[in-house]
């Protein structure tokens, strides 16, 4: 079979002039590549070392590298068609590594893959398959970028991308064409030279354009911090977060140079989607601009000319950007890092933000209410106090302890636990976990709150915590680690799903009679904790689960996270309204939430949609609804 | 003499209610200790007011008169009263707990080696003076132990002004009108170190809910923008600012600057009247500091009732018109 | 300008009140303590005056009397920007009356010869509202109370004083002077990590009452404390709309006294 197919034509002899010309061009191309790439590499290496960075466990790094880089899994999963096209280009590049090496070696008479030999021939066919796929893919990507023009790629057309696409196409086309000419023909020589020129033009373009990601992103993915939204600890007495160039770490600089400007972060960002200044892509590019102009040794503030403070404080920390990023950029440590820099040095002076901080400096909860209000609720709801004998400590959180809606959720969850015979108790005194101040970058306050709470939990000998608030769960489990060892904790959705068999299941003669319930994935439960199925199990007990267009990992934020629930009125459209409209449009009779912040945001948003708004319930309330009335205590 | 001296304060040529309450407190103390009560009024032209004071059951009314006392200054008042106290040697000096008294009385007492027992709400036998501690969460009973005159200022509303008996035949122990004397202190303009300007009103062009004393706030229960004039009328009748919860402003029924709550303004008026507001947490945190909260809501389980001092469970479209009428009747 | 700010540490505002065994004060065992609110505004005013001033010799010194625990509040003030502090170490603050406390403060402040002494209008615990005024008397300085805004002039200060019922007044006074600051005139700043770290190297001088040579017996004593009878609860006004409205107007007129 193979013998019937054409073979790749290679020019056999090169004149001295050709050899010299090639050598000269190759050196010029490599020099031009290095002039820029060396500079970038220098900026990255001159950046501060990441104090908390360690290679281990290395297994996860290797796996991420294989899965995200080699298999292109994230690129394909999140945008299947363009993702697949990109993957073909990437795979073709990989396959072409040997082909290109051989191509250049031939001119010096050092070719190691012979089109005549069995292995060489096979490999050239193998590469040809990818070349074909790549050529088709790059055409499609070209059409998408320059004719379809999705809005998240930005207003301005990237002509660089056009040139790069053309070069890639030329590379593939000349390679494929070489199969159809004779070895010694002038056509073969012409194709060889065109291919070579395209190659030598392409090389220096890499570091000068966003195609730098070709070189950097495999490293970025491999070296990433390893877990979602991991905020690195501050080190030493002079580290206040990302204040100036000197605070940029190697990881941050590497990530800034890795951005491929695909706009996935922007596409999914709640702020960018509701007319706010924040655009996560621009934050990363702002840092890159800073590094290009001023470098990592600069004492110039990072916020100002290159990135706006206003934008940085519009982030809900929903993490959609970081989750989506195909090149391993960790937006949350960057955004929170910039906030830390502003807050830890006192340069952020927002009225509402200051009020939140002062409330927590003096009091115990983010709402600034009297702890006596919490005591009153505990008494009224008949919640037992934790005395060390019970299995669970029921963590109320600020919303569960003070917010009327949050209290209803706690009461409903307590009913279910009573029904199941689970022993639990609440702490006499509880402070805010520090979630909003952690996300807003107030390390002083966060440390005080975390330490006070850790001490109280240790004194009370708490072993296991369950909470209705995903923000509390996340902060206790992950963020407190910086200051001690938090007890085991789970979200009530995980608890309820575990006991789903023992809870009443709503059944009806036909599915059409079941109440349609749409579930909203809270960011801090889904993306932050990877819990998607458990709340759905609970919803399915009460009715027919339906999905919103944006669900699971792609769920759209309610607008409350990142401390924004406590800041002032938003600019542009309210994030909560955007999401609520989407949930209402599903036609569900009930919206199920699993976070008291989402709940309170939607409550307001639904009020604005008018009389026919669906009912809004927490999953605990849905679970409690099915209980026999006598089960109430 | 030994006796009780009560300082009556004038403001813009009038004697405020709190001064009559101080007179009542002094008379109460006088009865308890069987001591005569005399009143003092400080100023440059106090003649007209003196007659009004003399109508009360008092032994004496002293006019402390000096041109330098035309406008209140801490130095002028404490110097003059210091001289008067040294000449009269009262057992107690009773004052109304006003901003003015708070400004000079502690210095005056200190000059005599004494401490003012301020903001007193009750006087028991002993005498023992009760004042509030920890912002009203605790009562403290104070007793003066010094040898000099005791200084006491009384809280507004703690004693009933109507209880200050007039020098009428109905009061048998008092048979004559108080005698009026004038005391001229030795004052030099160099002794008065502060130069106050004429008082002025705070500007009120923009909506400033933060400093409003009365607020009528409206929530979702109002149903539609067309019903806003109803609550506006209530606010006008009460002399109150109109405010709203987030959904109302979010819908554009009222401007954003009238929003009370976590994403709007934080208010602490004397009266906060919440109409059709259920009491979401975002709203509660913005108004929990109000001195008196009144809620009108048709849902008896609405969380707003948990923080309210007074509540009316009912349809606001019936209650509000009735309330407007009742307020108009009461204030006319 | 050298500014001294007298600050007080008070119990957390909303904590539950339990009377101690002797019935003379409250249980303080598991209480948390914080900077008195109007003192926080006094500190803020001082910091802003220093920051606004072109002169480089501005200094803000905080003075606080109380036991060991007061140290945390002093640190907080230093973290927010005060330059140094004097801690008057005494465990018997409760046994001293307002005059006694002012004597302590005056003895500590006098040697500093400040241009301005600021303090909060009143404390959240005792609520006497006198310390600043007595301090002025003891230091022989002019004073003004209920101040919302301070401005430096050629000859001294112009201050904005709050009067009752929405009225204000501006007062000129020479320096040195004592001012008591009303809450709300400025926006407070929050404590920052950088501030706390910088505060570590700032001076806190500790002196005792004996070292200051102050021993003033009280002329007023707090004999006993009791819990107020009335607990706040919601009164629901019943009846028809008309009856309820009439009942409410009664309450507003005679109990709330806003009509």
Which one has a higher pLDDT value, C24 or A312? A312
CB contact under 8 A, A349 and C187: yes
Q: Give the Cα separation of C231 and C233 in Å (integer).
A: 6
Task: Give pLDDT tens digits for C174-230.
Answer: 999 999 999 888 889 999 999 999 999 999 999 999 999 888 889 999 999 998 876
| Per-residue pLDDT at C232 | 62
**For all residues of chain A together, what is the average pLDDT?**
92
Residue C126, H or E segment: none
Query: SS3 of C142, please?
Result: coil
Smallest Cβ–Cβ distance between C219 and the set B113, B135, B326 belongs to: B113
Judged against a pLDDT cut of 90, whether residue C5 lies above it is answered with: yes
Smallest Cβ–Cβ distance between C234 and the set B98, B137, B308 belongs to: B308
CATH class of C2-212: alpha beta
| Per-residue pLDDT at A610 | 66
In angstroms, what separates the C-alpha of A362 from chain C's closest C-alpha?
6
Which one has a higher pLDDT value, A79 or A591? A591
* Percentage of chain C lying above the pLDDT 90 cut: 68
For residue B5, how far is the Cα from the chain centroid? 21
Could you give phi then psi for residue C157, rounded to 5 degrees?
-135, 150
Strand partners, A150: none
Q: Give the Cα separation of A558 and B23 in Å (integer).
A: 60
Judged against a pLDDT cut of 80, whether residue A228 lies above it is answered with: yes
DSSP collapsed to 3 states, A267-286 = HHCCCHHHCCCCCHHHHHHH
Name the residue with tokens 């220096």: A204
Q: Which residues fall within 8 angstroms of residue A452, CB to CB, at 6 or more apart?
A: A431
> Which residue in A553, A548, A514 sits closest to A533, CA to CA?
A553
| Per-residue pLDDT at A76 | 92
List A residues 606-625 in contact with B (Cβ-Cβ < 8 A). Answer: 607-608
Smallest Cβ–Cβ distance between A361 and the set C15, C191, C194 belongs to: C191
Find the closest chain C residue to A369 by CA distance: C14
Q: Which chains touch B (3 or more CB pairs under 8 A)?
A: A, C
CB contact under 8 A, A354 and C187: yes
CB contact under 8 A, A362 and C191: no
Q: Which residues fall within 8 angstroms of residue A134, CB to CB, at 6 or more apart?
A: A88, A89, A91, A92, A93, A168, A172
Residue A617, H or E segment: strand A615-618
Number of H helices, E strands in chain B: 9, 18
Residue A586 CA: distances (Å) to CA of A516, A517, A579, A581, B24: 9, 9, 11, 9, 70
Task: Give pLDDT tens digits for A314-354.
Answer: 999 999 999 999 999 999 999 999 999 999 999 999 989 99
Could you give phi then psi for residue A11, rounded to 5 degrees?
-60, 140
| Per-residue pLDDT at A370 | 83
CB contact at 8 A, C1 and C152: yes
* Percentage of chain A lying above the pLDDT 90 cut: 77
A213–chain B Cβ distance below 8 A for any pair: no
Q: Give the Cα separation of B90 and C42 in Å (integer).
A: 36
Smallest Cβ–Cβ distance between C192 and the set A358, A372, A444 belongs to: A444
Query: SS3 of A572, please?
Result: coil
Find the closest chain B residue to A596 by CA distance: B281
Residue B221: its chain A contacts at CB < 8 A?
Answer: none
Residue C162: its chain B contacts at CB < 8 A?
Answer: 99
CB contact under 8 A, C168 and B214: no
Q: Give the Cα separation of A409 and A78 in Å (integer).
A: 34
Smallest Cβ–Cβ distance between A569 and the set B263, B278, B306 belongs to: B263
CB contact under 8 A, B157 and C257: yes
Q: Which of A371-375, A572-576, A619-623 has the highest mean pLDDT?
A: A619-623
CB contact under 8 A, A369 and B285: yes
CB contact under 8 A, C192 and A351: no
CB contact under 8 A, C193 and A362: no
> Which residue in A415, A408, A410, A405 sits closest to A430, CA to CA?
A410
In angstroms, what separates the C-alpha of B156 from chain A's closest C-alpha?
27
Q: Give the Cα separation of C4 and C22 in Å (integer).
A: 36
Tokens of A432: 């805010």
Confidence of residue A383 (pLDDT cuts 50, 70, 90): very high
Q: Which residues fall within 8 angstroms of residue A223, CB to CB, at 6 or more apart?
A: A53, A61, A251, A254, A328
Mutate to test the interface with C, among B310, B321, B330 (most CBs of C within 10 A): B310
CB contact at 8 A, C168 and C160: yes
Q: How many CB pairs under 8 A join A and B?
A: 51
Task: Give pLDDT tens digits for A253-291.
Answer: 999 999 999 899 999 999 999 999 999 999 999 999 999
Task: Give pLDDT tens digits for A194-227.
Answer: 999 999 999 999 999 999 999 999 999 999 987 8
Strand partners, B138: B133
pTM of the model: 0.89
- Residue/partner pairs of B188-191 with CB below 8 Å, 24 or more apart: B189/B68, B191/B75, B191/B76, B191/B79
Strand partners, B181: B62
| Per-residue pLDDT at B171 | 46
CB contact under 8 A, B285 and A368: yes
Task: Give pLDDT tens digits for A58-68.
Answer: 999 999 999 99
Q: Give the Cα separation of C112 and A194 in Å (integer).
A: 85
Q: Give the Cα separation of C256 and B292 in Å (integer).
A: 7
Residue C195: its chain A contacts at CB < 8 A?
Answer: 346
In angstroms, what separates the C-alpha of A28 from chain B's closest C-alpha?
60
Reading chain B (332 residues) residue by residue, the pLDDT tens digits are: 579 999 999 887 888 888 999 999 999 999 999 999 999 999 998 888 888 888 888 999 999 999 999 999 999 999 999 999 999 999 999 999 999 999 999 999 999 999 999 999 999 998 999 998 987 788 999 999 888 899 999 988 788 877 666 655 444 444 457 888 999 999 999 999 999 998 887 665 456 787 788 999 999 889 888 999 999 999 999 999 999 998 888 778 898 889 898 778 888 888 999 999 988 888 888 898 888 999 999 988 888 988 899 999 999 999 999 999 999 998 87
Tokens of B35: 């001591």
B285–chain C Cβ distance below 8 A for any pair: no
Smallest Cβ–Cβ distance between C126 and the set B133, B271, B329 belongs to: B133
Rg (CA), chain C: 21
Neighbours of A230 (CB within 10 A): 16
| Per-residue pLDDT at A513 | 73
Residue B311: its chain C contacts at CB < 8 A?
Answer: 234-237
Find the closest chain A residue to C187 by CA distance: A351
- DSSP states along B207-226: --GGG-SEEEEE-GGG-SGG
| Per-residue pLDDT at A630 | 53
Return the ∠ at Cα A395 (arms to A393 and A397), rounded to 5°.
170
Q: Which residues fall within 8 angstroms of residue A467, CB to CB, at 6 or more apart?
A: A394, A395, A396, A397, A400, A473, A476, A489, A490, A491, A492
Smallest Cβ–Cβ distance between B282 and the set A355, A574, A600 belongs to: A600
Which one has a higher pLDDT value, A291 or A610? A291
Half-sphere exposure of B49 (CA within 13 A, CB side): 24
Tokens of C3: 């500014």
Domains of chain B: 4-191 (3.40.50.620), 209-331 (3.40.50.1220)
CB contact under 8 A, B288 and A406: no
| Per-residue pLDDT at C231 | 55
Smallest Cβ–Cβ distance between C193 and the set A361, A362, A443 belongs to: A443
Smallest Cβ–Cβ distance between B145 and the set C11, C169, C218 belongs to: C218
Residue A465, H or E segment: strand A464-467
> Which residue in C6, C1, C44, C38 sits closest to C139, CA to CA?
C6
Judged against a pLDDT cut of 50, whether residue A633 lies above it is answered with: no
Judged against a pLDDT cut of 60, whether residue A458 lies above it is answered with: yes
Q: Give the Cα separation of A517 and A523 in Å (integer).
A: 19
Query: SS3 of C146, please?
Result: strand
Interface of B with A (CB under 8 A): 220, 246-247, 250-251, 256, 259, 262-264, 266, 278-282, 284-285, 288, 303, 306
Q: Give the Cα separation of B122 and B131 in Å (integer).
A: 7
What separation, in Å, do the N-terminal and C-terminal C-alpha atoms of chain B show?
47
Judged against a pLDDT cut of 60, whether residue A152 lies above it is answered with: yes
DSSP secondary structure code for residue A67 in this structure: I
CB contact under 8 A, A346 and C16: no
Neighbours of A241 (CB within 10 A): 24
Mutate to test the interface with A, among C190, C196, C201 (most CBs of A within 10 A): C190
CB contact at 8 A, A343 and A440: yes
CB contact under 8 A, C190 and A345: no
B107–chain C Cβ distance below 8 A for any pair: yes
Q: Give the Cα separation of C213 and A459 in Å (integer).
A: 43
CB contact at 8 A, A394 and A584: no
Residue B318: its chain C contacts at CB < 8 A?
Answer: 241
Judged against a pLDDT cut of 50, whether residue A481 lies above it is answered with: yes
Query: SS3 of C55, please?
Result: coil
Query: From edge to edge, which strands make up the β-sheet containing B292-297?
Result: B241-244, B214-218, B271-275, B292-297, B310-313, C235-236
- DSSP states along B52-104: HHHTBS-SEEEEEE-GGGSS--HHHHHHHHHHHHHHH--SEEEEE--HHHHHH
What separation, in Å, do the N-terminal and C-terminal C-alpha atoms of chain C show?
47
In angstroms, what separates the C-alpha of A326 from chain B's closest C-alpha?
36
Residue B110: its chain C contacts at CB < 8 A?
Answer: 99, 102, 133-134, 137-138
Residue B220 CA: distances (Å) to CA of B40, B249, B316, B319: 54, 10, 11, 16
B190–chain C Cβ distance below 8 A for any pair: no
Rounded to the nearest 10 degrees, how much is the dihedral formed by the CA atoms of A73, A79, A85, A90?
A: -40
> Judging by DSSP bridges, how do beta strands C59-66 and C2-6 pair with one another?
parallel
Q: How many CB pairs under 8 A join B and C?
A: 224
CB contact at 8 A, B101 and B25: no
- DSSP states along B115-177: -EEEEEEEEETTTEEEEEEGGGTEEEEEEE-SSS-EEEEE-TTSS-GGGS-BSSTTSTT--SP
């Amino acid at each position: 079979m193979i013998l019937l197919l054409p073979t790749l034509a290679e020019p056999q002899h090169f004149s001295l002039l050709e050899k010299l010309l090639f050598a000269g061009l190759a050196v010029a191309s490599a020099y031009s590549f290095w002039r820029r790439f060396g500079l970038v590499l220098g900026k990255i290496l001159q950046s501060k070392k990441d104090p908390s960075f360690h290679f281990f466990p290395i297994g996860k790094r290797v796996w991420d590298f294989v899965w995200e880089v080699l298999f292109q899994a994230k690129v394909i999963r999140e945008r299947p068609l363009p993702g697949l096209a990109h993957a073909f280009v990437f795979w073709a590049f990989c396959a072409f590594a040997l082909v290109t090496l051989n191509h250049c070696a031939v001119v010096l008479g050092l070719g190691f893959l012979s089109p005549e030999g069995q292995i060489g021939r096979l490999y050239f066919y193998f590469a040809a398959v990818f070349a074909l796929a790549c050529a088709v893919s790059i055409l499609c990507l070209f059409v998408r970028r320059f004719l379809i023009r999705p809005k998240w790629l930005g207003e301005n057309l990237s002509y660089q991308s056009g040139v790069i696409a053309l070069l890639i196409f030329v590379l593939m086309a000349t390679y494929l064409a070489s199969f159809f000419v004779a070895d010694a023909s002038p056509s073969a020589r012409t194709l060889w030279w065109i291919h070579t020129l395209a190659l030598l033009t392409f090389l220096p373009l890499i570091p000068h354009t966003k195609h730098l990601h070709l070189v950097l992103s495999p490293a970025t993915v491999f070296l990433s911090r390893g877990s979602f939204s991991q905020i690195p600890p501050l080190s030493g007495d002079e580290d206040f977060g990302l204040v100036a160039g000197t605070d940029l770490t190697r990881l941050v600089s590497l990530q800034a140079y890795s951005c491929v400007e695909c706009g996935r972060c922007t596409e999914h960002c709640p702020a960018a989607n509701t007319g706010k200044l924040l655009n996560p892509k621009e934050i990363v590019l702002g840092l890159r601009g800073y590094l290009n102009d001023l470098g990592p040794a600069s004492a110039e503030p990072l916020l100002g000319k290159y990135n706006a403070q206003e934008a940085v404080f519009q982030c809900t920390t929903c993490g959609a950007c970081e989750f989506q990023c195909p090149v391993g950029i960790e937006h949350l440590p960057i955004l929170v890092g910039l906030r830390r820099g502003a807050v830890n040095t006192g340069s952020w002076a927002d009225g509402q933000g200051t009020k939140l901080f002062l409330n927590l400096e003096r009091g115990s909860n983010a709402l600034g209410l009297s702890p006596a209000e919490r005591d009153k609720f505990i008494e009224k709801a008949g919640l037992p106090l934790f005395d060390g004998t019970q299995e669970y400590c029921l963590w109320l959180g600020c919303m569960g302890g003070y917010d009327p809606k949050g209290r209803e959720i706690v009461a409903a969850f307590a009913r279910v636990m009573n029904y199941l015979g689970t022993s639990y108790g609440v702490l006499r005194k509880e402070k805010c976990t520090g979630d909003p101040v952690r996300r807003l970058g107030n390390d002083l306050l966060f440390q005080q709150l975390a330490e006070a709470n850790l001490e109280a939990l240790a004194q009370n000998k708490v072993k296991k915590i369950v909470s209705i608030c995903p923000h509390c769960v996340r902060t206790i489990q992950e963020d407190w680690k910086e200051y001690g060892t938090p007890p085991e904790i789970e979200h009530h959705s995980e608890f309820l799903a575990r006991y789903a068999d023992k809870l009443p299941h709503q059944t009806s003669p036909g599915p059409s009679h079941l109440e349609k319930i749409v579930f909203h994935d809270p960011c801090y439960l889904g993306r932050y904790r990877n819990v998607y199925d458990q709340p759905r199990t609970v919803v399915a007990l009460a009715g027919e689960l339906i999905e919103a267009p944006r669900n699971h990992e792609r769920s759209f934020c309610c607008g409350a996270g990142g401390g924004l629930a406590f800041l002032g009125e938003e600019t542009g459209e309210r994030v909560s309204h955007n999401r609520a409209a989407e949930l209402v449009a599903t036609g569900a009779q009930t919206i199920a939430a699993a976070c008291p912040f989402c709940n309170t945001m939607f409550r307001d948003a639904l009020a604005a949609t008018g009389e026919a708004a669906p009912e809004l319930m927490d999953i605990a309330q849905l679970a409690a609804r099915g209980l026999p009335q006598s089960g109430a205590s | 003499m030994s006796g009780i001296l009560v300082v009556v304060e004038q403001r813009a040529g009038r004697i405020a209610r709190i001064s009559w309450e101080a007179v009542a407190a002094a008379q109460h103390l006088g009865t308890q200790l069987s001591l005569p009560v005399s009143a003092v009024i400080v100023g440059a032209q106090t003649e007209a007011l003196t007659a009004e004071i003399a109508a009360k059951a008092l032994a004496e009314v002293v006019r402390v008169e000096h041109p330098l006392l035309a406008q209140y200054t801490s130095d002028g008042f404490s110097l003059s009263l210091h001289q008067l106290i040294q000449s009269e040697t009262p057992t107690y000096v009773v004052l109304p707990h006003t901003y003015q008294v708070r400004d000079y009385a502690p210095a005056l007492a200190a000059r005599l080696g004494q401490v003012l027992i301020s903001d007193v709400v009750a006087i028991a036998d002993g005498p023992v003076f009760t004042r509030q501690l920890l912002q009203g969460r605790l009562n403290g009973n104070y007793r003066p132990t010094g040898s000099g005159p005791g200084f006491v200022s009384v809280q507004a509303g703690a004693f009933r002004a109507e209880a200050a008996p007039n020098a009428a035949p109905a009061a048998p122990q008092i048979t004559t009108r108080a005698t009026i004397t004038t005391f001229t202190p030795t004052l030099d303009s160099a002794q008065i170190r502060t130069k106050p300007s004429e008082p002025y009103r705070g500007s009120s062009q923009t909506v400033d809910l933060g400093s409003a004393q009365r607020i009528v706030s409206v929530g979702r229960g109002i149903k539609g923008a067309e019903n806003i004039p109803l609550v506006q009328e209530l606010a006008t009748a009460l002399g109150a600012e109109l405010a709203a919860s987030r959904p109302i402003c979010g819908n554009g029924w009222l401007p954003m600057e009238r929003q009370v709550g976590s994403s709007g303004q934080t208010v602490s008026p004397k009266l906060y009247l919440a109409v059709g507001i259920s009491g979401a947490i975002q709203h509660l945190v913005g108004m929990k500091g109000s001195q008196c909260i009144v809620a009108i809501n048709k849902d008896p389980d609405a969380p707003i009732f948990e923080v309210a001092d007074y509540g009316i469970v009912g349809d606001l479209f019936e209650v509000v018109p009735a309330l407007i009428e009742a307020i108009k009747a009461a204030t006319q | 300008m050298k500014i001294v700010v007298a600050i007080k540490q008070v119990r957390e505002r909303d904590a539950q009140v339990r009377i101690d065994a002797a019935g003379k004060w409250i249980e303080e065992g598991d209480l948390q303590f914080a900077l008195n609110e109007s003192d926080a505004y006094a500190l803020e005013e001082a910091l802003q005056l220093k920051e606004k001033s072109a002169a480089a010799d501005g200094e803000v010194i905080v003075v606080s009397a109380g036991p060991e625990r007061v140290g945390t509040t002093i640190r907080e003030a230093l973290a927010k920007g005060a330059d140094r502090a004097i801690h008057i170490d005494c465990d018997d603050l409760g046994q001293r009356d307002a005059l006694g406390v002012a004597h302590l403060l005056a003895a500590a402040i006098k040697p500093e010869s400040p241009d301005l002494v600021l303090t909060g209008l009143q404390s959240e615990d005792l609520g006497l509202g006198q310390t600043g005024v007595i301090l002025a008397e003891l230091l022989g300085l002019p004073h003004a109370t209920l101040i919302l805004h301070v401005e430096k002039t050629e000859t001294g200060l112009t201050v904005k004083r709050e009067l009752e019922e929405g009225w204000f007044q501006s007062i000129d006074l020479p320096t040195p002077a004592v001012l008591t600051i009303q809450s709300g005139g400025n926006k407070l700043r929050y404590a920052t990590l950088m501030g706390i770290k910088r505060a570590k190297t700032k001076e806190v001088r500790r002196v005792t009452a004996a070292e200051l040579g102050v021993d003033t017996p009280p002329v007023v004593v707090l004999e006993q404390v009791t819990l107020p009878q009335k607990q706040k609860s919601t009164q629901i006004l019943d009846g028809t709309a008309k009856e309820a409205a009439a009942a409410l107007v009664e309450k507003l007129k005679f109990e709330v006294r806003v009509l």
